[in-house]
Structure 1
Amino acid sequence: MFQHLANSLVPLFSLIALGAVLGRKTDFFDGRALSGLVTTVGIPALLLHSVLSMDMNIGQMGELVAITVVWIVVMALVTAAVLRLAGFPVRDYLPALVHPNTGNMGVPVCYALFGPQSLGLAMVISSVIQISHFTLGIGCLSKQFSLAALVRNGPVLALAAGAGLLATETTLPAPVMTTLDMLGSITVPIMLMQLGSSIANLRLSGGREMLWPVAFSFYRPLAGLGVAWLVLLFWPLGQAQAQIFLVQCAMPVAVMSYVLAVRYHGPAQAIALTIPLSVVVSLAVAIAFSV
């Protein structure tokens, strides 16, 4: 199990470190061009390829989608109340504290803990979180929500197309799938290197600026886990599904939250600092599940 975790996490931290070096030595990550490339091309291709590669029945998929939506709603309500009590702008911080890194972190961790049979279930949860990034996340950070913009949103269109193709049992030609795979493969490396660049260029004036990022680093995994446990009390799942659901909800702050904060001028530096700190807490939760 620890070898699988190492195999998943060493590349992740290596890309963050590479991004930190490049961010200090080059101007590769200046501006919003890379973020736009990831959100408009890379993520839609990655999601469509992932949905079409899944092997599960529609009933399992629907139940996981529904319970994940319920979890997002409850987690958002709890987090909004916490942020108001702490005096933070809710719209700026809500997406980062609600959305876990279920993709490039959660999926590998579920594989390490539960084996290859967990991948499809973990990917369904991750897909719902991705939709929430581009609805709840963008709606909060841009201070507006447009149904027309949602309908035109690349990841949402990709997931709708994938669901339609699955429902009609339509198989895309192998060259098309290969193209989607290649386009989607640019997404995670760019996101991780952008994160490393932002961390390397943080400018903190003192220890007080670390206080809230540290607190948020504990809040995101532990509150996510607690809300997931509460939801499961009222909506029990099978043992395997419940374990995957709990682990995914306990993942750290998502790299996508940082990418969207950069694009919409949110608190990108605070989020960038929170991500690696929350990874440590999430790993402790994952290890607890493995014992």
Structure 2
Amino acid sequence: MLTALADALAPILLIIGLGFFLGKRTDYLNSPSLGALVSNLGLPALLLYSVLSMQMQVFSMLKIIAATVIVLAVVALLSYVFLKTFKLPTRFYLPPLVNPNTGNLGIPIAYALFGNEGMAIAVVISSVVQISHFTLGVGFMSGAYHPKQLLKNGPVIALLLGAALLSFKVNLPAPLMNTLSMLSNITLPIMLMLLGKSLSSLSIKESSKINRAAALSLFRPVVGVLSACLVVYFFPLSHLESSVLIVLNAMPVAVISYMLTIKFKGPVDDIALMILLSLPVSLFIVGFLWWFHL
């Protein structure tokens, strides 16, 4: 069991480590266009290919979307109560606690543990979380939100397109599917290397904040898993769909929360610490779940 888990997670950690090394020693990953390429082209291609290649039913997709929304709502409520109890500002701390790193970490882990079908479910879940980043995240941290921002979100467009093609039972031509497949194959490694590069560039200046960051880092994956377990108990999901939903909600604080905190001048050091500390906690929880045959 441990060997199987190590075999699944080792490539992910090695590529993250490669991204960390390249971020420290080279400028290979410094282009901001690389992140935009993954967000606007790679991830939408991965989403569309995964959904269409496994011929996911529209009803199944809607179930996964609804379950993800409910989990995020439960986590948001519990996080709000937690932050108010400890008198921490919700503006900058609520979005990182609610929105896990389902993109450049969750999708590769889902693929490693559950294969292509698990990855297809993961990219649907990740698309919903991305919407949450650009609604809850931007709305809370900026104090304002404009719905038109979603119209520029590639994964959201791909999700709507995939649902439309499935609804009308339209099969894309083989050359187009092969193109999507090739784009999908390069997307996961780039996402992982960009995560490593982001970790290498985190700036932490006040180590005295480590206790608070540690508590929040533990809270994020634990409350995510517990909320997901509660939802799947009552929601009509398959075993695979439930497993992927639980694993993705065990993911750490997302790097995009760090980027938004910088943009809106929030507690950057705290969020950076939360990302670093929640990563090993999340991997431990995933290992624990895998050990008990999730």
Measured against the shorter chain, the TM-score band is 0.7 to 0.9
Local SS of the residue matching 1:47 = helix
Change (3 A) 1:272 1:92: same
TM superposition shift of 1:208: 1.4
Q: Deviations over 1:33-92 (max 9, x none)?
A: 433333223322222222222333333332222121111122122223333444444333
| Conservation of the 8 A alpha-carbon contact between 1:4 and 1:112 | no
Question: Hey, what does 2:139 align to over in structure 1?
Answer: 139
Which residue of 2 is the match for residue 284 of structure 1?
Answer: 284
Amino acid at match of 2:137: G
**Worse-matched range after superposition: 107-116 or 9-18:** 107-116
**Residue type at the aligned position of 1:215:** A
Query: 5 Å matches for 1:163-242?
Result: 163-232=163-232, 234-235=234-235, 237-242=237-242
CA contact (8 A) 2:216 2:274 kept: yes
Q: Matches of residues 86-125 of structure 1 in structure 2 within 5 Å?
A: 86-107=86-107, 109-110=109-110, 118-125=118-125
* 1:210–1:146 CA distance, 2 compared to 1 (3 A): same
> Which residue in the other structure is 1:62 paired with?
62
* Larger displacement relative to structure 2 (196-205 or 279-288): 196-205
The Cα of 1:227 is off from its aligned counterpart by: 1.8
> How many Å apart are 1:164 and its aligned residue?
0.6
Question: RMSD of aligned C-alpha atoms?
Answer: 3.2
SS at match of 1:204: coil
Cα gap change, 1:259/1:231 in structure 2, threshold over 3 Å: closer, same or farther?
Answer: same
Distance in 2, matches of 1:224 and 1:118, equals: 18
Determine the structure 2 residue equivalent to 1:14: 14
CA contact (8 A) 1:100 1:253 kept: yes
Shifted more, 232-241 versus 249-258: the winner is 232-241
Unmatched 5+ stretches in structure 2: none
**What amino acid maps onto 2:71 in structure 1?**
W
Aligned equivalents of 2:53, 2:162: Cα separation in 1: 10
| Counterpart in the other structure of 2:35 | 35
Q: Distance in 1 between matches of 2:176 and 2:238?
A: 35
1:266 and 1:19, CA in 2 relative to 1: closer, same or farther beyond 3 A?
A: farther
Q: Deviations over 1:87-137 (max 9, x none)?
A: 444333333221223345445545665666644444433332233333333
Of all paired residues, the percent bearing the same amino acid is 46
Letter in structure 1 aligned against 2:54: M
TM-score by length of 2: 0.80
Q: Mean Cα displacement is larger for which, 182-191 or 151-160?
A: 182-191
> For residues 257 and 174 of structure 2, what CA distance do their matches in structure 1 show?
32
Unaligned runs of 5+ in 1: none
8 Å contact kept, 1:191–1:259: no
Contact 2:46/2:123 (<8 A) preserved: no
Counterpart for residue 77 of structure 2: 77
Structure 1 residues 280 and 242: CA distance shift in structure 2, 3 A:
same
Deviation of 1:163 after TM superposition, in Å, equals 0.8
1:158 maps to a residue whose letter is A
Q: Secondary structure at the match of 1:172?
A: coil
How far apart in 1 are the matches of 2:144 and 2:31? 23
Task: State yes or no: 1:25 paired with 2:25.
Answer: yes
Quote how far apart the aligned CAs of 1:249 are.
Answer: 1.9
When the two structures are superposed, what TM-score results if normalisation uses the length of structure 1? 0.81
